[in-house]
Chain A
Amino acid sequence: MRNKIIDVQDIVIRFAGDSGDGMQLTGTLFADASALFGNGISTFPDYPAEIRAPRGTVAGVSGFQVHIGNGRIKTPGDYCDALVAMNPAALMANAKWLKPGGSIVLDIDAFDAAGLETAGFKTLYPLKELNLEDHHVVWAPITSLTKESLKDSGLDNKSILRCKNIFTLGMCYFMFNRPLEFTENYIERKFGKKKPLLVEPNKKVLNDGYNYAHNIHAIASTYRVAPAELDPGEYRNINGNQAAAWGLLAASEKSGRPLFIGSYPITPATEILEEIALHKELGAKSLQCEDEIASICTAIGASYAGNLAVTSTSGPGLSLKSEGLGLATMAELPLVVIDVQRGGPSTGLPTKTEQADLNQALYGRNGECPVMVMASKTPSDCFRAAYYAAKFAMEHMMPVILLSESFLGKGSEPWKIPDMKDFPEIKPPVIKHCDGKFKPYMRDPETFVRNWAIPGTPGLEHRIGGLEKNEAGEISYNPANHEKMVENRAAKVAKLADYYPAFTVEGSQNGDVLVVGWGGTYGHLSTAVKEMNDKGLKVGLAHFDYIFPLPHETEAIFSNFGKIIVCELNSGQFANYLRANLPQFKYLQFNKIQGLPFMVHEITDAVEALIPKNKKEK
C-alpha cells in the first residue's frame, strides 16, 4: 500500500515534552529545516518559567509550535495538526491545542502507571480520559529505540537518553516529508569541532528515527507542504530578539556611531544582549551590568560619550529604569530602551506574552517626562523597528522606548533579507565647534533638537545633568524657565510625528468596523481582517507601530468607520490612551490577558458580532 501524500495549505505542529527533553531545539530545528525547504514558517515557544520543574509534571512541560505553509505565514497558528508528546504530562497539557482529527505521536515508554499518575491522569487510559480516541495516534517506543540505536555509540546512558528528541525529530522529518540534510549539517556544525564524538551518534539516531517512522508505516497520511509563494529574493529565518539586535547594529553602521549595550539578563529579552555580545566584529560593545539600573546608566554614560546607546529589558526591568529614563529625557541624550514584554505585574508570567507595559512606557516616570514609544509588529519587523528607534533617538536627542513582546522576541519567521541601501541615512546633530560659548540647550528652531557635543571635542566643554537648566546649561530654578523647558521637551517629542512614514489602513478603507491594534498582535489581526474581507465584510485594520506621539493620520482614519474596536493583550491600555487623545470617537474593546497570543477566530468572532446581520448577508 502506498502512503497517501496530500497537499495542504498549511500545518501546525506542536512539540511538547519535559523541559529537559530538548523540545525547543527539536522545534527550532524542524522550523529551520522547513524554512530552508522553502516554506513560510512562524514559531511559538511555550515553555515554563522553571528551567527544570519536577520531571513528568504538567508544570514542567515545555512546548514549541511550528506553523509551516506555502504562503506568507503570519502567526504560529491557533491549534495544531500534529502533537508530539514525549510524556503523559505533555499530552495532558497540550491536548487542548489539538485540532479535531489531528495526529499525535507519543513515547509509549514514558506512559507507564507512575508517569500517568504524576501527570494527573486518573486512569491508565490517557486517550480515553482526554477524549482523544478518534485521533490518529502513533505509539512509538522512542526511549527504548533511542537506547538500542546508540548502545554501541560509546555514549553513557544519560547522554543516550538526551538524544530522544533527535530520534523524534527524525520521525517527524519522515512524517512531514522533510529532508534530513539540513539537520545533519547542523549536527556537524554544532559538534564537529568541539565534540566530534557526538556527531555520528546524533546523525545515526536522526536517521534511525526517520527509518523507524518509514518502516512501521504507522503514518496513514503524510503531509507535504509545498514551498511558500514568497517574493523572489534571498531569505533567512530570524527571531525577533535577533532581528532587534541586528537592527541596532545596522543603525550603528549607518550613523557611524559605535553601538553600546548595557543590559542585565531577563526573560524574554536576554537574547538581544547575547546577540550583540556575539557581534563584536562590527565594533559593538556589550556590558552585562550588575543590575537593571546600571544597565540604563552605563548606556546613558555611553550616549554622553557619543555612542549609539541601548539597554534591553522586560517589564520589571523597565520599572527599575524609570529614573534613568528621566535623566536621559532631562539631559536630552539619545537612548534606545527595548522592552520585550512579558506577563505582569511583578514577576508575573516571565515566559508568556502580554502587551501590558504600555502604560508604564507612556507614563511611568516622575515629572513631565514624555518619551517616544514605538512597537514592533512581527519577529522580522523588530529589525526595522529597532533601526528606526535608534534613528529617532539619535536624530532627535531623546530616549525612545521600543515595545516588543515575548511572542515576537522568541518567535521566528522567514525574512527577505533587506538591502541596507533601502534604509534611510541617520544623521545625529553632532556638533564639532561653535562660535562663542557653547550652550548645551540651544535648540534647532524647527525640531527643538539640541546639539550633541561629545567629550573629547575641544572648546565645547559644558555641564549637563538631571537638574533643570537654562539654555546655557546653568542650573535654573526660575519658574518661567522651568515651564519653558518642560514645553520645549514636550514640543520636541510632539514634532516626531512629522517625520513618520505614512500611516495607512489595511483591508477596507472605510466601512463598518475598524480593528485597531498595536505591536505583536499584527499577524493575528491582519489574518483575521483578511478573512473577513474575503467574506465580503467591510472591515479595516489600523495597526500602530508608532504609539507616542500618534501618527497625524489617526483621526482621519478613525472617521471612516462606523465602529472602532481596539484589540490588545491587556485590559485596555491602548484604548484608554486613545480615549484620552481622541475623545471624539467611541472605542469598543477586545482584550485577552492569558499570557497567550490572540487566536484568529477570536478576532473574527468578536468583529463579526458587531456587524448587523443584513450587511453580512449581502
Chain B
Amino acid sequence: MKYTFKDFKNDQNVKWCPGCGNHSVLASVVRALPEVCEDRHYDKENIVFVSGIGCSSRFIYYMDTYAFHTIHGRATAISTGIKVANPKLSVWQATGDGDALAIGGNHFIHAIRRNIDINIILFNNQIYGLTKGQYSPTSKLGLVTKTSPYGTVEHPFNPGHLVLGARGTFFARSLDSELQLNKEIMLRAAEHDGTSIMEMLTNCVIYNNGTYKDFSDRAVRADRTITLHDGEPMLFGKNKQKGIMLDGLKLKVVKLGENGITIKDILVADSHSDNIGLHTQIADMKYPDFPVALGVIRDVKDMTYDDNVRDQVIDVKKKSKIHSVEELLHSGETWTVK
C-alpha cells in the first residue's frame, strides 16, 4: 500500500478528554484511509476533511490532510460546495449530534436528499460536551442536564430514521470501541457513491458517561447488539442462538429451536435491498425490545448530485453555440451605432 496510518495523522496533541470515545474513531479513520486511497485510487492530497463546531469537530486538526474547521452546523453545506466544485476530491466530514441534527439539521437532510458524494461521520454522544453538558436532539427523553435540570420533555431523533426518511442511500452505525467494524464501515462508505452517514455511538466520559452501556458493555454486547453482514442471517447472542424474523410487516426477536424456528426463518441482512421500510425498521431497533443494529444497514445505488451537476455542464457545453464570454456578449439581439 502506498500509505500507512502515519501519513494521515499529524503531530498535534489530541485534546479530547482521556477516555473519550472520539479517540478510537480517530484511530479507526487513520487506519481506514490507506485502504480507501488504495481501493479508490486517491492520493493523499485528494482527501479533504471538513467539520463544524463541537468536540467531534476538533477531529480535523489531528489529520494530516487538507482540512477545514468551519462554523456551527454548516459543515455539510461547505462539504457540498467543495464536492460540487471538485468532484475528484474525497470529502469526509466530522460532525456531532448537535452540529448535524440541531443547528445544521437543514443542511444535513438536504445533502442526503441530493445524495451528494460525501462521507459523514456523525459522532453521536447524545450530549453537548464543548459547551459543558446541555441536552442534544438525540438525548434520551427525561435526561437531566444543565439546561434540563428536571429532565428533558422532548423526544430525541433517531439519526438512522431521519437519514432514511430523507431518502438516504447509505446508513451505518457502530460503537466507538468497535475499531474493526468502524474501519469496515468507512471502507464501505468510501466505496458508496452518494451521501454516506456513519453514526458512531460515542461515549462522553464527562457529561453523559455510560449512555450506551446498557448494550455496549462487553459483558452484554453480544446479546444486546446485532452486527449485520450482507447475505447472512441476522443472528446475535453469544452463541448466535437468537435472530430477527419478519412477522407479517413487523420485526420480531426469536430463538432458534423454539416454536419450530429454524435458520431459514431468520431475516437475511441485505443493505442493497430497495426496501427502505425494512431498513428503517432495522435502524429503529432499540434495546431492550431489540438488539441495537450495528454495521451497514442501507447501501443502495442512486444518482449523485455532484455527478449530475458536472454532467449537465458537459452536456450544455456540447450543445451550446456560445463558448466564450466574448460570444455571450454578442449573442441575442444587438445593434450597431455608426
Residues of A within 8 A of B (CB): 32, 35-36, 38, 182, 227-228, 230-237, 246, 249-250, 253, 258, 260, 262, 279-285, 287, 289-291, 293-294, 297-307, 309, 323-324, 326-327, 331, 416-418, 420, 455-467, 474-475
Chain B 301-338, CB-CB to A under 8 Å as 1, else 0, gives 00000000100110011011011111011101111111
With A258-B85, A280-B313, A305-B89 known as contacts, the answer to whether A455 contacts B329 (CB < 8 A) is no
With A235-B337, A304-B78 known as contacts, the answer to whether A462 contacts B85 (CB < 8 A) is no
- CB-nearest residue of chain B to A236: B334
Residues of B within 8 A of A279 (CB): 322, 328
Residues of A within 8 A of B80 (CB): 287, 294, 298, 301
User: Is the CB of B86 closer than 8 A to any CB of chain A?
Assistant: yes
With A249-B328, A260-B84 known as contacts, the answer to whether A234 contacts B317 (CB < 8 A) is no
With A253-B325, A290-B110, A307-B85 known as contacts, the answer to whether A281 contacts B309 (CB < 8 A) is no
Contact in complex: B61, A456 (CB < 8 Å):
no
Contact in complex: B79, A301 (CB < 8 Å):
yes
Query: Taking chain A's interface residues, is the majority helix, strand, or loop, or is none over half, making it mixed?
Result: mixed
Q: List 16 A-B contacts (CB under 8 A).
A: A262-B81, A287-B80, A300-B70, A302-B85, A304-B81, A304-B82, A307-B85, A327-B70, A327-B71, A417-B330, A417-B334, A420-B329, A455-B89, A461-B66, A463-B69, A464-B69
CA distance A232 to B89 in the complex (A): 49
Smallest CB–CB gap between A423 and chain B, Å? 9
Contact in complex: B337, A300 (CB < 8 Å):
no
With A464-B69, A465-B68 known as contacts, the answer to whether A474 contacts B81 (CB < 8 A) is no
CA distance A457 to B99 in the complex (A): 29
In order of increasing CB-CB distance, the 7 nearest A-B pairs are A301-B81, A465-B69, A281-B320, A298-B81, A297-B77, A305-B85, A302-B85
Residues of A within 8 A of B44 (CB): 458, 461
Q: Which one of B44, B77, B84 has the greatest number of beta carbons of chain A within 10 Å?
A: B77
Smallest CB–CB gap between A187 and chain B, Å? 14
Residues of B within 8 A of A416 (CB): 337
Smallest CB–CB gap between A334 and chain B, Å? 12
Contact in complex: B60, A309 (CB < 8 Å):
no
CA distance A456 to B44 in the complex (A): 8
With A235-B336, A298-B84, A302-B85 known as contacts, the answer to whether A418 contacts B45 (CB < 8 A) is no
Residues of A within 8 A of B60 (CB): 463, 465
User: Is the CB of B238 closer than 8 A to any CB of chain A?
Assistant: no
CA distance A461 to B79 in the complex (A): 17
User: Is the CB of B268 closer than 8 A to any CB of chain A?
Assistant: no
Identify which of A231, A280, A285, A455 contacts B45 (C-beta below 8 A): A455
CA distance A246 to B325 in the complex (A): 8
Contact in complex: A305, B325 (CB < 8 Å):
no
| Segment 81-96 of B: residues with Cβ below 8 Å from A | 81-86, 88-89
User: Is the CB of B106 closer than 8 A to any CB of chain A?
Assistant: yes
Contact in complex: B64, A305 (CB < 8 Å):
no
- CB-nearest residue of chain A to B48: A455
Contact in complex: A455, B70 (CB < 8 Å):
no
CA distance A227 to B334 in the complex (A): 15
With A297-B107, A460-B45 known as contacts, the answer to whether A420 contacts B317 (CB < 8 A) is no
Residues of B within 8 A of A293 (CB): 74, 77, 107
Contact in complex: A298, B78 (CB < 8 Å):
yes
With A232-B337, A323-B71 known as contacts, the answer to whether A281 contacts B316 (CB < 8 A) is yes
Contact in complex: A324, B71 (CB < 8 Å):
yes
Residues of A within 8 A of B319 (CB): 281
Contact in complex: A301, B77 (CB < 8 Å):
yes
Residues of B within 8 A of A (CB): 12, 43-46, 48, 50, 53, 60-61, 63-71, 74, 77-86, 88-89, 106-107, 110, 309, 312-313, 316-317, 319-320, 322-326, 328-330, 332-338
CA distance A236 to B74 in the complex (A): 41
Smallest CB–CB gap between A350 and chain B, Å? 22
Contact in complex: A250, B110 (CB < 8 Å):
no
Contact in complex: B70, A297 (CB < 8 Å):
yes
Contact in complex: B106, A281 (CB < 8 Å):
no
CA distance A283 to B46 in the complex (A): 22
Residues of B within 8 A of A38 (CB): 335, 337
Contact in complex: A231, B324 (CB < 8 Å):
no
Contact in complex: B330, A294 (CB < 8 Å):
no
Contact in complex: B329, A253 (CB < 8 Å):
no
Contact in complex: A280, B312 (CB < 8 Å):
yes
Smallest CB–CB gap between B338 and chain A, Å? 6
Contact in complex: B328, A282 (CB < 8 Å):
yes
Residues of A within 8 A of B46 (CB): 455-456
Contact in complex: A233, B78 (CB < 8 Å):
no
**Could you count the A-B residue pairs with CB atoms below 8 Å apart for me: how many are there?**
201
CA distance A282 to B329 in the complex (A): 12
- CB-nearest residue of chain A to B107: A294
Residues of B within 8 A of A281 (CB): 316-317, 319-320, 322-323
Contact in complex: A302, B81 (CB < 8 Å):
yes
Contact in complex: A467, B336 (CB < 8 Å):
no
CA distance A231 to B337 in the complex (A): 7
Contact in complex: B328, A461 (CB < 8 Å):
no
Residues of A within 8 A of B317 (CB): 280-281, 283
Contact in complex: A301, B334 (CB < 8 Å):
no
Contact in complex: B65, A461 (CB < 8 Å):
yes
Contact in complex: A282, B325 (CB < 8 Å):
yes
Smallest CB–CB gap between A150 and chain B, Å? 27
Q: Which one of A236, A246, A289, A304 has the greatest number of beta carbons of chain B within 10 Å?
A: A304
- CB-nearest residue of chain B to A235: B335
Contact in complex: B74, A260 (CB < 8 Å):
no
Identify which of A297, A302, A467 contacts B84 (C-beta below 8 A): A302
Identify which of B45, B53, B333 contacts A236 (C-beta below 8 A): B333
Smallest CB–CB gap between B115 and chain A, Å? 14
Residues of B within 8 A of A253 (CB): 324-325
Contact in complex: B85, A236 (CB < 8 Å):
no
CA distance A116 to B332 in the complex (A): 42
Smallest CB–CB gap between B41 and chain A, Å? 14
- CB-nearest residue of chain A to B334: A236
Residues of B within 8 A of A301 (CB): 50, 68, 77-85
Identify which of B66, B309, B334 contacts A455 (C-beta below 8 A): B66
CA distance A290 to B88 in the complex (A): 24
- CB-nearest residue of chain A to B61: A463
- CB-nearest residue of chain B to A247: B325
Smallest CB–CB gap between A192 and chain B, Å? 15
Contact in complex: B313, A283 (CB < 8 Å):
yes
Smallest CB–CB gap between A305 and chain B, Å? 4
Residues of A within 8 A of B316 (CB): 280-281
Residues of B within 8 A of A475 (CB): 61
Residues of B within 8 A of A456 (CB): 45-46, 86, 88-89
Additional A-B contact list (5), CB under 8 Å, known A35-B335, A306-B86, A455-B89 = A290-B107, A297-B107, A301-B84, A455-B82, A459-B45
Residues of A within 8 A of B77 (CB): 262, 289, 293-294, 297-298, 301
CA distance A70 to B130 in the complex (A): 67
Smallest CB–CB gap between A39 and chain B, Å? 10
Q: Which one of B68, B81, B336 has the greatest number of beta carbons of chain A within 10 Å?
A: B81
Contact in complex: A294, B106 (CB < 8 Å):
yes
With A230-B337, A281-B323, A294-B106 known as contacts, the answer to whether A455 contacts B74 (CB < 8 A) is no
With A281-B323, A420-B326 known as contacts, the answer to whether A297 contacts B81 (CB < 8 A) is yes
Residues of B within 8 A of A258 (CB): 85
Residues of B within 8 A of A246 (CB): 325, 328-329
Contact in complex: B337, A285 (CB < 8 Å):
no
Contact in complex: A285, B85 (CB < 8 Å):
yes
Contact in complex: B328, A287 (CB < 8 Å):
no
With A297-B107, A323-B71 known as contacts, the answer to whether A36 contacts B337 (CB < 8 A) is no
CA distance A309 to B84 in the complex (A): 12
Smallest CB–CB gap between A342 and chain B, Å? 24
Smallest CB–CB gap between B60 and chain A, Å? 6
CA distance A324 to B63 in the complex (A): 24
